[in-house]
Amino acid sequence: MKKIWFAVLVLLVSVGLAGCQEADTLSFEVEVIDLNGEVLLNQSIDFTEEATMPIIDMIDQEIGIDYTSYDIGLFVNGVADYYPTEYGVTYNYYYSFLINDEIATVGIDQLELEDGMKLTFKEVTTLDVTDQKVDQLIQSFIDQHLSLYLNDNTFDHYVLAAINQLDLHGYMGPVLLTDLIPNSYLLMERETIANTFKMTIVEKAYQRNLDDTKTALSGFVADNPYDAATLLNALTMTDGSSTQISDLINILTSTPSFMDADYAGMILLALAPYIDNQLTTQTINDMESFIQTVLTENGVESWGNANSSSTATVILGLVAHGINPRSTTYSTNDVDLIEALLTYELDGAYKWLLADEQADMAFSTPQVFSALVAYKIYRDVYGNPAFNLFDF
């Protein structure tokens, strides 16, 4: 009989202790979700009823949390090793704070500890759908196609300029390896304006000596507006002769015998550093007015067809003057130039015409990529100042 009572007593004590243990073991859940809805982190943090440590310190102790204190409360920058897209570069993306799947009405520093609650840090963005797609497609090009345009053996000057600008503005880790000069650059001759302009971009991007290029540029004479625009861009990048630059401005501000959207975009880009020159004002206004006459829902029309290349060239020219290509002035039936340009996308590359079945990898794709980068940087800088793709 004594053995039976002893066994019952042991059982009761065990059950009692188990109940006490269960009651004392409390927890809350911390979750991190990215912009696409993927759960990056889900971790339970235990505490006791007697716990007095602030919630923010509990999270920091268990998994780490990065935050900034302001007079109005705490702003969470990152949780564990997870940060919003472009953290440290822009505030386009940030973490929204939810309590039990509802938007929090109090800051995390004012939150009372509660058993079973779920704290979620969900990435959200201030950008609309179009601007989010711009960012996604820039990254898609880098992931899928960059190696085609920038490698040991070759380079595309539009892509190189755009990547260099992304690097200079802090959007990505170093892509331009200091000693990685494409072999095609080393084999190029400074015999034409076009080649020397491309070499100028390489040398500026890789911080190479420009003496030979400056000498070559000083000897060129442009006999047509297209060469004049290219040469002016190169001379601007290399602080060329003011006399030579003035001569080119005279060419570009004279009335051409022809006009198309590509020309208008090129002129806007080339003349952007010289807006204070009294000769350029009327020409710039004329180019902007002309562009407004060739807008369609499918982008900019040039020589009978709206196409991605002409649309990209115009966008480069507009943002070089601080003009928003998404404004109503450059929209047709509520479709702006950036929205139109994105319709040409095909697997991270770009068609020339919407009717094309394959992407134009040689011309349209690098030009569109550079235009999207130029627009993004213009968009992201506070106050939206003018942005010139070739101003390093």
pLDDT band at 343 (very low <50, low <70, confident <90, very high): very high
- Among 70, 96, 125, the domain boundary falls at 125
- Among 94, 125, 156, the domain boundary falls at 125
Asked if pLDDT for residue 10 goes beyond 80, the answer is: no
Residue 10 belongs to a domain: no
Fill in the DSSP letter of residue 189: -
Residue 2 belongs to a domain: no
* Rounded-to-integer distance, Cα 371 and Cα 57, Å: 45
Q: What is the mean pLDDT of the chain?
A: 91
Residue 8 belongs to a domain: no
101 lies in which domain range? 25-125
Strands 295-296 and 299-302, sheet pairing: antiparallel
How far is residue 283 from each of residues 172, 287, 337, measured CA to CA in Å?
37, 6, 22
Residues 6+ apart with CB under 8 A from 64: 79, 80, 81
114 in the same domain as 35:
yes
Average pLDDT over residues 107-120: 94
250 in the same domain as 120:
no
Strands 118-125 and 102-103, sheet pairing: unpaired
292 in the same domain as 251:
yes
111 in the same domain as 149:
no
102 in the same domain as 165:
no
Q: What is the pLDDT of residue 9?
A: 37
- The dihedrals phi and psi of 362, each to the nearest 5 degrees, come to -80, -40
Residue 12 belongs to a domain: no
Structure tokens at 298: 């499918």
Helix (H, G, I), strand (E, B) or coil at 68: strand
89-100, pLDDT tens digit by residue? 999 999 999 999
Q: What is the pLDDT of residue 217?
A: 98
**Segment (H or E) for 40:** strand 39-47
Q: What is the pLDDT of residue 176?
A: 53
* Rounded-to-integer distance, Cα 252 and Cα 232, Å: 10
> How many C-beta neighbours within 10 Å does residue 149 have?
20
What CATH number corresponds to the domain at position 298?
Answer: 1.50.10.20
How far is residue 172 from each of residues 85, 121, 144, 165, 384, measured CA to CA in Å?
11, 24, 16, 10, 21
Contact 249, 231 (CB under 8 A): no
32 in the same domain as 170:
no
151-191, pLDDT tens digit by residue? 888 899 999 999 999 999 999 765 555 556 788 888 899 99
Average pLDDT over residues 233-256: 94
Residue 235 belongs to a domain: yes
148 in the same domain as 75:
no
134 in the same domain as 119:
no
Asked if pLDDT for residue 87 goes beyond 80, the answer is: yes
pLDDT band at 11 (very low <50, low <70, confident <90, very high): very low
Identify which has the larger pLDDT, 258 or 146.
Answer: 146
Q: What is the pLDDT of residue 15?
A: 43
283-338, pLDDT tens digit by residue? 999 999 999 999 999 999 998 999 999 999 999 999 999 999 999 999 999 999 99
Q: What is the pLDDT of residue 223?
A: 87
Burial grade of 190 (CB within 10 A; 0-12, 13-18, 19 or more): middle
Q: What is the pLDDT of residue 134?
A: 98
Domain count along the chain: 2
- Reported pTM: 0.90
Q: What is the pLDDT of residue 186?
A: 84
Helix (H, G, I), strand (E, B) or coil at 83: coil
197-211, pLDDT tens digit by residue? 999 999 999 889 999
> How many C-beta neighbours within 10 Å does residue 335 have?
16
Residue 89 belongs to a domain: yes
Q: What is the pLDDT of residue 8?
A: 37
* Rounded-to-integer distance, Cα 392 and Cα 386, Å: 13
**Segment (H or E) for 78:** strand 73-79
What CATH number corresponds to the domain at position 108?
Answer: 2.170.130.30
Structure tokens at 179: 């000693």
Structure tokens at 181: 């000069």
Asked if pLDDT for residue 14 goes beyond 70, the answer is: no
280 in the same domain as 365:
yes
* Rounded-to-integer distance, Cα 223 and Cα 199, Å: 21
Q: What is the pLDDT of residue 178?
A: 53
CB pairs under 8 A, 24+ apart, for 360-364?
Answer: 360/308, 360/309, 361/145, 361/148, 363/309, 364/307, 364/308, 364/309, 364/312
Contact 41, 32 (CB under 8 A): yes
- Among 101, 125, 149, the domain boundary falls at 125
* Rounded-to-integer distance, Cα 136 and Cα 346, Å: 13
> How many C-beta neighbours within 10 Å does residue 374 have?
27
Residue 20 belongs to a domain: no
Q: What is the pLDDT of residue 258?
A: 78
Average pLDDT over residues 353-357: 98
364 in the same domain as 215:
yes
Intra-chain end-to-end CA distance of the chain, in Å:
94
Beta bridge partners of 301: 306
Helices 211-218 and 225-237: crossing angle in degrees, nearest 10, is: 150
Residue 108 belongs to a domain: yes
